[in-house]
Structure formats: C-alpha cells, structure tokens
Amino acid sequence: MPAFVIPCPYCGTELKLKDRSLIGKKGKCPKCSKAFRLEEPEEEDEVQLELVAPSPAGNQSATKTAPVQQAPQINTFEAPVVAPDIESGGVQRMKEMRRKNKKRRNFQIVIGGLVAVLLAGTIYYIKDQPEKQALAAAEAKKPKRNAAHDAQKAKDKSDLEALANAAPTRGEPIALNFMPSGARVIINLHPDEFWKPGSLAEEFRYCIGPLGIWLETEIKALTKFDPSEIDRLRICLIPGLRNERPKVAAYVELKEEQLESTLIKLFPGDSVNDYEPKIYLTGDDCFIHIDNRRFAVGPGEYAQEMADAIDVNAVTNRDIETMLLKTDSERHLTILFDPKILRLEQVSWFPENARPVLNHFLDWLGDDVLTAIWSVHLDDQFHHEMLLRNDAAALPATVQRKLSQRLEEMPERVLSAVRKMTPQQIGPRKIIGRYPAMAKVFTMATSSGSDDRSVQFTTVLNDRAAPNLALGTLMAWDESTRTDFNKSDSPAAMVASNQPKKELTFEEKLQKQIEIDFGRMPLQDAFAYIADEAVLSLEIEGDALKLAGFTKNMPQTFKYEQISVTKAILAIINGEGNSIIKDSITKGTGKIGLFLDDTGKGFIIATEKYIADQGKTAYQLK
C-alpha cells in the first residue's frame, strides 16, 4: 500500500503514514507532541508518525486522581531490573492482564449503556409530558399540608448551606483517575503539610506519636519518597476475597519534577508498552509513569485498567461515587469509606487492639449511614468535619437527631471509661483526666445540618484544640488497651462528678433502662457496654465459651431504644443477636449462662455446663 502524509493541525509538520487502516485513530506529532485524530491525508512527507494509546475516555481532559487506601502491609516494588522479553515477558503478561480484565470492562460498558438509555428515556419523558409539568406547577402553588415539617426541613438545609459556606477550603472534588475499579476506602492526604516545620499540622502529627511514625514509614515504603517531598497522596483500598488484606493503589504528586531515569530506578521493572503513560511491571506490582511529577503504583493485575483511566474516575460503589462529588481535595486529610466494608473486613484490615474502638465508632454511626467522609484541616483553626450519606429509607432529620443525641452523650461515656483507668505516669494521668472535658468542649463546638440524602457535623475550634485532642485521644486509647472495663471505678479515680449520685441496689441496676444499638458488636464488647451502663461487674469465662464453640468476638446485632439490663443480657444469651448461639440452643449443643461472682453483686459469663461442673448455681434473670 503506498505511503501518504498527514499535516499536524497544530504546527504544520507533515507526518508520514504507511497504513490507511489507521485513519480515524489518534496520533501524536513527534515535533510538538500534540495528539490529534488522523484524517484523510492530502500529500506525503518523510516524517515518521508516532501513535499514542487510545484513551477509553474520548477527548476529556486529564484530571487529578485520588487513590485511597491504607493497608497494614504495603508492597515496596524492589524487584531487580530485568530486560523484558518482547514475546514472552512483559508484553505477554500485559496481554494476560487484559484478558482477565475483559469481563470487568465489558460490565462497565453495559452499565454505561444502561445509564445512557435511562437518561435518554428521562429526557424524552420530560419533553413528552407538558401537561404533567403544568399540573406539577399548579400543585406546587397549593398550601403545604405539613408546614412544621417543611419549615424544619428548610432549616436543616439552611444549616447545611451555612456549614458549607464556612468551609476553610474550596478545592475540586477528589478524583479517581489512574485508579482501578472497586475502591471502598479512599484517603486523600497532603503529606508536605504534615511534615512542614513549625506548622500546626506537624504539631498534630507529633501528638499522635507512634501513629505518625508508622505513617511516615508506610508512605516511604509505598512511594519511595520522603513525605515532605510529596504535595498530594491518594490511596485506594480495594477489597479482595473475604479475610484477605485489601489491594492497595496510590497516586503520587511530587512537589518538584524528577528525572524520568530517577523514577524508573526507584521502581525497577519490565516495560510493557511504548506509549504514554508508560507501564512497568515488577513481580505482582506495577508502576505507571504519568509525567516527571506524577506517578501511580498498584497491583500488577490492574496495570492496564489504571493506565486507561486517564480522563475518567474509576468505577466504584454508587454511594461512594456520589459522595466523591462532595469532597474537597484541598483539605489536609480526607478519608471516604464504606462503614459496612470496615465492619466486615476488620479482622484482616485492622490490628486486634484497634477493633474495639473501630466497632464503637461504627456503632455510633449506626446502620442508617451508607457512606462517610471524615476530613480535617489544620490552619489558623482546627476544622473537623463528618459528612454522612444516609440510607434512602431513613429520614435525614431522624439520622441527624440520633447522631446529635449520641454526640451529646459522648462526654459522659468518656468520663465513665476514664474513671476505670489508672495510668502509672503523672503526665498521661493528667492528660487523660482532662480528656472528658475536651470531649465536652468538642461536643459544644459541633454544629449540624442535613439535606435530602446527607447529614453533616462540623466542629471548629482554636488551633490549640487539635494537638490537645490528638494527644488526649492517643493516650486514652492506649490506656484503654490495659484497662479492665468490667471492674468498678478506680479507687483513685482521676475525674469525679461534683454531683453525688444515689447508689442503686443490685436489683435496681438489673432493672435500669438502657439503649441498645449493636451493629455486629463483638460479644465481649456488648457485655462490657451493658456492664458500663448498669455499673455492674460482668466477667467472661473465655475457656468455657470456647469449649461450647463460642468466642468473645461473636458479633451481636440487635437494637432497642429502651430495654432493661436484664432483658439486654437475656437477648444475648438467648441468641437474639447471633444465629450461632440460637442454633446451639435449638440443637441442645450448648447454652450461655451466668452466675454470681464472689461479691454477689456481679456476674461471670460462662456456659450452663461449666456452671454445673463447677458446682455453681446459675442465676435466673427475670
């Protein structure tokens, strides 16, 4: 086939093309590096044409990406440099990856087609229904049937708008380009701010102690750069098989440009393509060179998918995609997450000593929250924000009211927990002793608002609040890992109420009305919560439970706005919150029971068989 030439529409350079089958595809001028669509040529020239990889997103402009995920273990891409075997090495592996990802891409195309059909149908429906529009307009002029409800709804929305107007930043939403599909946790971080000498963010990092040190180590392992050299870091956690660590993908934007050779030396691997962005594979991981300031890393199996996502956000959960539009990429730290995933994957994603705190937080959110955004900005003030997307079946105003009530109760619960702590050092003792007061100030400084599908809580405090809260939270959490919350208050309680309370009798404590909202809370934490609410001693005989096939981590799921302590305990031991316990009772293979401890004013949780074997008498709750 004879050769012909195509002039570059930008600089006029004539590019030689030998194959007319490339007409209609995208090319790149080797002189000005501009990409353009190849049209029918007019005359020949001797300049070689450089083709670029087709973009699945058409002509959309590239946007910033938002990777998000933090895993306990991060790959370091330290495999030795190996020259790629064009036929059986990197290229062959890339073909295999494309084959594996074909079903996922086809599924996305189908979903995109369905959305397009629905959108077209909606437009047709609107154009074809002028009479219905007129009726709707007339209906809107009628008096409202529930003026009080509408007034409250308008106030909630007004409050939400006021919170948005008071935001410290006005950045673009976090993007997910250069990321694989399926992210369920997204972290957007400005490392340079937290490592800037003398900044409030740096002081905040120092106050979280070992967590700050761990974060620095993980950032260096993931990106090969010191955090102070990174302007933006976005990490995505993609769930895999159940009880496995999540897949980690990250987007990095450096403060200064680097030589391409420097970046490639940091992430040695096989080059598998000759167009932009370039992909390098090393072991099970990939490195994607976007330009000399930006790159992405992630699982090798997602390499082509990440490289193709130049102009579009990766596909993920619909609620997460909706909430991404409400994020602000300029906040110093933002974490967008799916609470259900954190609950389900906590065993493989979180260390054991962090799970009780995680479950308490998820229980505070409740089952009505589908997606959450937590953000912190540390400038002249401490700006803390929680933006929550509620279930469509739940009224936002109801969710807002419930969470506001739980927030108001938080200082009292912190106080109750702190009373049982006995730090051995004076410094931590003083800080933990002041922590309930910090929690009270935080609660009082929090404002809320809601709209049709979201609830927002915003807290604004002075700059000193950020490091104090960080340090108090860290020390209280650390001390909680050594505290027995089933025991009575410490004799040398650090914090005491000025209002003396009447001591309830043992029977009165059992009849006390409490609120229960267990969303897969571990068995030991459920009993600890009940004991704390009733000021009772509840100890668990773990070995006895194991012999009957029960564990302290068995999740409990039930909810009561008002229930007596007695009935709450019965709900657990009768299997109301766990099917395994209920099945065991039905089959007669074992049942949880309890008996009085030596004081006669507290219980020991065991099994009925264990109680009988020990010659004890099971306590009959009424």
pLDDT at 506 over 80: yes
Q: Is residue 449 part of a domain?
A: no
Report pLDDT for 18: 62
User: Given its phi and psi angles, is residue 58 left (phi above 0), alpha (psi -120 to 50 degrees) or beta?
Assistant: left
Tell me what the mean pLDDT of segment 405-420 comes to.
90
Q: Are residues 276 and 237 in the same domain?
A: yes
Q: Considering 309, 337, 365, which residue would you say is the last residue of a domain?
A: 337
In which band, very low, low, confident or very high, does the pLDDT at 156 lie, cut at 50, 70 and 90? low
Residues of 358-385 as b/e, b for ≥16 C-beta within 10 angstroms? Answer: ebeebbbbbbbbbbbbbbbbbeeebbbb
Which range is most confident: 101-115, 464-478, 493-507? 464-478
Report pLDDT for 180: 94
Q: Are residues 39 and 176 in the same domain?
A: no
Q: Are residues 8 and 88 in the same domain?
A: no
Q: Are residues 20 and 112 in the same domain?
A: no
Give the pLDDT confidence of 170-182 residue by residue, as tens digits.
Answer: 999 999 999 999 9
Report pLDDT for 45: 39
Tell me what the mean pLDDT of segment 227-252 comes to.
94
Q: What angle do CA 403, 531, 372 make, to 5 degrees?
A: 25
Q: Is residue 492 part of a domain?
A: no
Question: Between residues 566 and 487, which one has the greater pLDDT?
Answer: 566
pLDDT at 429 over 90: no
230: helix, strand or coil: strand
CA distances from 516 to 132, 192, 527, 561 (A): 47, 43, 11, 6
Q: Are residues 71 and 46 in the same domain?
A: no
What are phi and psi for residue 486, nearest 5 degrees? -85, -15
Give the pLDDT confidence of 332-376 residue by residue, as tens digits.
Answer: 999 999 999 999 999 999 988 888 889 989 999 999 999 999 999
Q: Could you tell me the CATH number of the domain that includes residue 534?
A: 3.55.50.60
Tell me what the mean pLDDT of segment 539-543 comes to.
88
Tell me what the mean pLDDT of segment 472-490 comes to.
81
Q: Is residue 521 part of a domain?
A: yes
Continuous segment of H or E residues that includes residue 563: strand 555-564
Q: Are residues 115 and 227 in the same domain?
A: yes
Q: What percent of the chain has pLDDT over 90?
A: 39
Tell me what the mean pLDDT of segment 128-151 comes to.
48
Report pLDDT for 46: 38
Whether the ω angle into residue 500 lies within 30 degrees of 0, i.e. cis, is: no
Question: Between residues 147 and 1, which one has the greater pLDDT?
Answer: 147
User: Alpha-carbon distance 618 to 544, whole Å?
Assistant: 14
Tell me what the mean pLDDT of segment 422-433 comes to.
85
Q: Mean pLDDT of all residues in the chain?
A: 79
pTM for the predicted model, two decimal places:
0.57
Q: Which domain holds residue 274?
A: 65-128+171-337
Report pLDDT for 220: 96
Q: Is residue 543 part of a domain?
A: yes
Q: Are residues 72 and 218 in the same domain?
A: yes
Report pLDDT for 21: 66
Report pLDDT for 105: 44
In which band, very low, low, confident or very high, does the pLDDT at 525 lie, cut at 50, 70 and 90? confident
Report pLDDT for 311: 83
Report pLDDT for 98: 56
Report pLDDT for 523: 86
Report pLDDT for 89: 53
User: Alpha-carbon distance 252 to 224, whole Å?
Assistant: 10
Tell me what the mean pLDDT of segment 491-503 comes to.
50
Least confident of 44-53, 263-272, 507-516: 44-53
Tell me what the mean pLDDT of segment 510-517 comes to.
87
Domain count, the chain: 3
Tell me what the mean pLDDT of segment 450-462 comes to.
91
Question: Between residues 320 and 110, which one has the greater pLDDT?
Answer: 320
Q: Are residues 240 and 331 in the same domain?
A: yes
pLDDT at 160 over 50: yes
Give the pLDDT confidence of 11-67 residue by residue, as tens digits.
Answer: 777 777 666 666 766 677 777 666 777 776 544 433 343 333 333 333 333 333 334
Q: Considering 316, 337, 358, which residue would you say is the last residue of a domain?
A: 337
Give the pLDDT confidence of 82-123 residue by residue, as tens digits.
Answer: 333 334 455 555 556 555 554 444 434 333 433 333 333 333
In which band, very low, low, confident or very high, does the pLDDT at 218 lie, cut at 50, 70 and 90? very high
Q: Is residue 442 part of a domain?
A: no
CA distances from 455 to 90, 119, 407 (A): 48, 28, 14
Q: Is residue 389 part of a domain?
A: no
Q: Is residue 302 part of a domain?
A: yes
Tell me what the mean pLDDT of segment 582-594 comes to.
88
Q: Pseudo-torsion of CA 82, 84, 87, 91, nearest 10°?
A: 120
Tell me what the mean pLDDT of segment 157-180 comes to.
85
Q: Are residues 107 and 242 in the same domain?
A: yes
Closest listed residue to residue 533, CA positions, set 518, 506, 515, 520: 515
174 within 8 A of 327, measured Cβ to Cβ: yes
User: Alpha-carbon distance 33 to 621, whole Å?
Assistant: 80
Question: Between residues 450 and 146, which one has the greater pLDDT?
Answer: 450
Q: Considering 283, 310, 337, which residue would you say is the last residue of a domain?
A: 337
What are phi and psi for residue 102, nearest 5 degrees? -60, -45
Q: What angle do CA 284, 287, 289 make, to 5 degrees?
A: 165
Tally of CB atoms within 10 A around 353? 12
Q: Are residues 177 and 275 in the same domain?
A: yes
User: Alpha-carbon distance 619 to 622, whole Å?
Assistant: 10
Closest listed residue to residue 514, CA positions, set 568, 575, 464: 568
Q: Are residues 10 and 119 in the same domain?
A: no
What are phi and psi for residue 400, nearest 5 degrees? -60, -45
Report pLDDT for 44: 40
Least confident of 59-73, 173-187, 374-388, 571-585: 59-73
Report pLDDT for 94: 59
Q: Pseudo-torsion of CA 290, 46, 3, 87, nearest 10°?
A: -40
In which band, very low, low, confident or very high, does the pLDDT at 143 lie, cut at 50, 70 and 90? very low
In which band, very low, low, confident or very high, does the pLDDT at 488 lie, cut at 50, 70 and 90? low
Report pLDDT for 490: 52
pLDDT at 127 over 50: no
Q: Are residues 194 and 271 in the same domain?
A: yes
Give the pLDDT confidence of 389-412 residue by residue, as tens digits.
Answer: 999 999 999 999 999 999 999 999
Q: Is residue 438 part of a domain?
A: no
